[in-house]
Amino acid sequence: MATTNEQRLSHPPGGDITIEEEKESEICKFYKDKTVLITGATGYLGKLVMEKLLRSCDVKKIFIIIREKKGKDPQKRFDEIFDEPCFEPIKRKNPTFKQKIQVLIGDAQFPNFGLSDEDIETLKAECQVVFHYAATVRFDEKIRTATYINIRAVRDLINITKEMKHLKAFLHCSTAYSNCIHPVIEEKFYDPPIDPETLINLVDTLDENTLQAITPGLLGKYPNTYTFTKCIAEAIVRKEANNIPAALFRPSIVIATAKEPVGGWINNVYGATGVLLGAALGVLRVMQLKKTNNADLVPADFVVNSSIAAAWDVACDKNLDQKKQVREEESKQEKDKTHVYNYVSTPEKPISWREFENLGEKYGKQVPSEKCIWYYFFFTVESYWVYALTKFLLHTVPANVIDFLARCIGKEPMMVKGYQKINKFAEILAFFGLNSFKFSNQNVQSMWKKLNEKDKELFEFSMANLDWSIYFRTYVRGSRLYLLQDTLDTVPKGKVKYYKLMFAHYALLTIFLAVFIKIIMIIFNFIF
């Protein structure tokens, strides 16, 4: 029988075009009705993980651990979490979403997270997926605090996790720079500089002054206590989590969201964002770094999507049960079975510090803020001595002059203290800007290939698909809006102020140049 045109359209050659559209999200299916624990839920990434799970995955319950901070009790801090712009989409979609969240009172500085025995037993009975994001991210944190939060808390949480009756996955968030003493960083474990238990016993025993005195010796080649303790924490994961479905997740330099829940959202000035904002405001004028080195930057929403997928990947490892007995036998031979994921951008979408600077300047000048302190004048150097000289001329001298004038008119001097913080920030980042790192991320790329089209749409994290120019336009505007609290309707006023500052900047340079030439001429005439 001849096929009619209508039949051809209904059943075209080549199969059913609706099959792909009807595919379910495997990741959403996994998280459906799951009970999840998120540590660090009051932090930047913790908030985004919680928001994403609540908005995209039909989880049963989310436990979060909150401590008292700056006089605010845990309930007050819990309520304030949802004032962030990142929760606006889910408030519109599901106004009752907070009913799925249960707050546990605890503190990562204390043994067992400071949790009560009752809460620990509740977690053991109910929790199925654990995201450990809690950490102190201060690079200059005291060694005692960094050890308790970044190392001991990991050990104690894993010990609790191992007794969870229905555990499906445990994910520990580290950093791509945890092993920064190595120029090549692969998706594998590295030996720690000191045994974790030895360090914990050390900080338990010694007084604060002694600990401060021996800290440089403990750090060795590590630039700060953050990377040092993060490396040692990985040794805890390697040893203690080897017989549970676990993932070690290492994001690099996390910056603003690319797309979701709102594009350009960020609530901190750590790392690269501090450089971007400091330069845009005219307060950061020089930094020490190598422009040709890669700035391994990753958008926060991509980081979150990748970590959610990583926990799914570990839980759905089809060979996991078969490997369990082999794993227990091989653990004696130090065979690592924990999945390691380097979530980095360089292998797929590299961006140099020069490009970072150029894109930041390009889009920053399009939307200058009224809150600018001075005209954009930012450059980088490699030599320490050149940096020290230019820092003195461009940071120290102006700060002292402004503070002197402030005292003269009866105002509180603030610039010198401010620039001490800015200079400290710049010098901490210098290590990462001057050194070149080669990362591998084959496990992340392989995980992306496992996702079906629905999951790739809902949980986008492939850096290969990112356009840095398009991203930076969003990044700069987001930093202006969310960090400076300066809406885009003030751009015209911002441009007026920017051009005034530009005029003042070049007028001042002209005066300095004229004075410099005059001094040279006086010296020349005196000599000759």
In the structure, what pLDDT confidence band is assigned to residue 3 with cuts at 50, 70 and 90?
very low
Q: Which amino acid is at 14?
A: G
Indicate if the pLDDT at residue 333 is higher than 60. no
Lowest mean pLDDT among 9-18, 98-107, 117-126: 9-18
| Percentage with pLDDT > 90 across the chain | 76
Q: What is the pLDDT of residues 152-184, one digit of tens each?
A: 999 999 999 999 999 999 999 999 999 999 999
Beta partners for residue 380, in sequence order: 287
Lowest mean pLDDT among 86-90, 245-249, 401-405: 401-405
Stretch 64-74: mean pLDDT, rounded?
Answer: 87
Q: Are 65 and 115 in contact (CB under 8 A)?
A: yes
In the structure, what pLDDT confidence band is assigned to residue 101 with cuts at 50, 70 and 90?
very high
Residue 132 Cα distances to 70, 118, 150, 404, 485, angstroms:
23, 20, 10, 48, 30
Helices 271-281 and 468-478 sit at what angle, rounded to 10 degrees?
70
Lowest mean pLDDT among 29-43, 79-93, 409-423: 409-423
Indicate if the pLDDT at residue 18 is higher than 50. no
Q: Which part of the chain has CATH 3.40.50.720?
A: 25-261+297-350+439-464
Indicate if the pLDDT at residue 40 is higher than 70. yes
**Which structure tokens are listed for 244?**
């549970």
pLDDT of residue 5: 46
Stretch 93-110: mean pLDDT, rounded?
Answer: 94
Stretch 492-497: mean pLDDT, rounded?
Answer: 94
pLDDT of residue 334: 52
pLDDT of residue 402: 87
pLDDT of residue 409: 86
Q: Given CATH 3.40.50.720, say whether it is the number of domain 25-261+297-350+439-464.
A: yes
Among all chains, which residue has been given the structure tokens 């940071």? Answer: 395
Using CA atoms, how far apart are residues 82 and 291, in angstroms rounded to an integer? 39
Sign of CA dihedral 276, 280, 283, 287: positive
